Structure 1
Amino acid sequence: MVSTLIGLQEREGKVELSVRASAINPDAKEHPEINYTFAKVKDKYQDMQHAIVDTRVPSRDRLVIWLMSYNAELSEYLASLGLHLIQPHYANRWFSTVPKETHDTGECLGNIRLEAATGEDHSALVDIPKADGLAARSLKFVQWLAKENPEGKWERFLNQKQTDLLWDKVILAGSSHGSTTSARFAKHQKVARVVAFAGPRDQLESWQSLPSATPANRYFGFTHVLDKGWTAKHYCRSWEMLGLAKFGALANVEQSSPPYGNSRRLITDFEVDGNANKAHGVVVRGDRWKEAWKYLFTHPVDDVGKAVEHDPDCVVERP
């Protein structure tokens, strides 16, 4: 029997809630073959989910679904902007379980990401049922939040019958693996916006150039230039294939200020002592990025920059 573990913290109108996915959804199952489990790791349940809302500020009527480990600093700031945020438990540890010889086929990773997001059959390499897909886990979480925290008005993100999310109000966001799955899912499901920190990756995949349910001007990216994913041309390749050059030149946040020429491609060369690992995570930590965060999550999607030519420093090799 799975124990119910629920957390609730209220601080001057800011409400943080946490609950295990297995506690609110009897259909949720573990998939240890792809490292998708409920068990404790480093004294933390793997299926613990987090949510935050600040009822003191006017709501922007947008739900951020954060696809990575819970980031309290970023989440609290986004809540202060009037955004609701959830961090659901979904399949994001499968990468090491996929045979290496399949990685470079051009479709392998993107198909697994889509199955992890939808719970629909998109890959022969995994078997993730609908109840365990990101979409269903997010729906169950918001349904639970609507009952447990009525002051947060979470029901605004559910359809009239409360049987699905209102995806046109959803912002998919994440870092690294999470940013990549966010972008892949947005190709399939139209959403309000995508915010990709340190990503998208999948440097040998073709899904980035597929037709997109989410208009290209709704994708936003931000990375450090010493991140290995940037120096190896992974991120800029994805940005090019997503069509983001149509909406403005690269904008270095150290040399410009919001609205950054209405660009969809933000970079920083902030000092990280030449440490590529530090560079990989730095853009989602620290007060210095708050202006950039606000831009990425709230800038009007119809305000776009002037189209530029293909980035000559970014090699795009399409599978």
Structure 2
Amino acid sequence: MTEKEFTLKHVFSDVGKLESNQILYSPEKEHSGVKWKIRIEKSKEHFAMYLYTNVTGNQEIHTDRTMTIFSKNKEKTHSESASRVFEIRENPNAYAWGWNEFIQWKNLENEYLNNGKLEVEAHVKITKVLGFSRKELKSFGENMKQFSDVTLKVKERRFYVSKLYLSTHSPYFATLFLGKFQESEKSEIELKDVDPQDFQYYLEVMYLENAIDDDTVHGILSVADMFDTPKIAEKCEEFLVKESKMELKKKLELAGNYRLEGLKKLCLDQIKSRADIRSVMPDDPRELHKDILAELLQKALVFN
């Protein structure tokens, strides 16, 4: 699952004791540079559930999302799905979307609560992000066309670049541009399964701009991994080790997903208790890289 598609999971306690209009929140989790959480409440005769994010200024986050509740042993589920834009430009409450009448409260009590506990999930796919304040450091648009010999089409955007320059940094592009493939003769090549904004930042780093920060590093790593660009991955790792303020849990996840051994060692060295282990464990341990999971297990045995 990529950073543009993620799942929030949480088990709420004492849900059956909620009074009308009483609200509970899940812990915040960061994805794509913003924080997300689930809100539940008793809304008269119904159970209400919402998804929140901390958009600011003129940001817009376009999403497809599905919110689900689970019965004991996940024998039964109830879900609602919708596409929504999170924004605060016009509506100060638009940073939250959900259902005020997700399910009747009586049905929730009878069919979904397990000794007062309720397991919930929000699956989110980010389809478009607009309005982030970070300024692009270098243009790869029409004004660079005269200096390029190939156009890379990434969804709705076109990037005008040099075949030779990209090939010297990436074996993937060297094979694509210089190998005996049909694409090597084309003046425009479409790159699929890539986010155009992530690709912009990736190119900025390749062209020696300082584009790596806590909001962009995950996307840059994903593109560098896809196009086999180890030097860019090294720069991202150096930032994560020396400068990043990202939480330890997220750093450890990136270290596992992108094989960043130096970052992995740094993160594991900071884990000195069972409480530290719990703080970095995802809701589903299978989401962690198996090598990291094994090392955390070894630490847990030592702390015992």
Q: Shorter-chain TM-score: what band?
A: under 0.3
Question: Higher strand proportion, which one?
Answer: 2
Please say which structure displays the higher CA radius of gyration: 2
Return the TM-score normalized by structure 2. 0.25
